[in-house]
Amino acid sequence: MWYEILPGMAVMGVCLSIPGLSTLYMHRWCNGGKEKRIARYPFQWTLMERDRRISGVNKYYVSKAGQESVDLEKSGLKTSLKIKSSS
């Protein structure tokens, strides 16, 4: 009957999903828990290059806690703004 094909389809489905899932987990393992970023457009590429430059270790996937943790002198960025501290 028609249901005799179900075990074969299940095996094929599992075999076809293994490459996609293994790639996902390998990228997470190699990139410190983050998925690999893909630059499909030039703007995305410039954002990845900016992240690589600002991280200070030449890797785009090293995260920073926020604006306070970015060393402006080291990354080559200069600013003339003075932020008022709220005391």
Specify the higher pLDDT residue, 10 or 33.
10
> Which band of pLDDT confidence, cut at 50, 70 and 90, is reported for residue 19?
very high
Residue 8 has pLDDT above 80, yes or no: yes
pLDDT in tens, 47-78: 888 877 777 676 666 655 555 555 656 555 55
> Which band of pLDDT confidence, cut at 50, 70 and 90, is reported for residue 80?
low
DSSP string, the chain: -GGGGHHHHHHHHHHHHHHHHHHHHHHHHHTTTSPPP---SHHHHHHHHHHHHHHSSS-TT---SSGGG--HHHHT------PPP--
Report the distance separating Cα 8 and Cα 45, nearest Å: 43
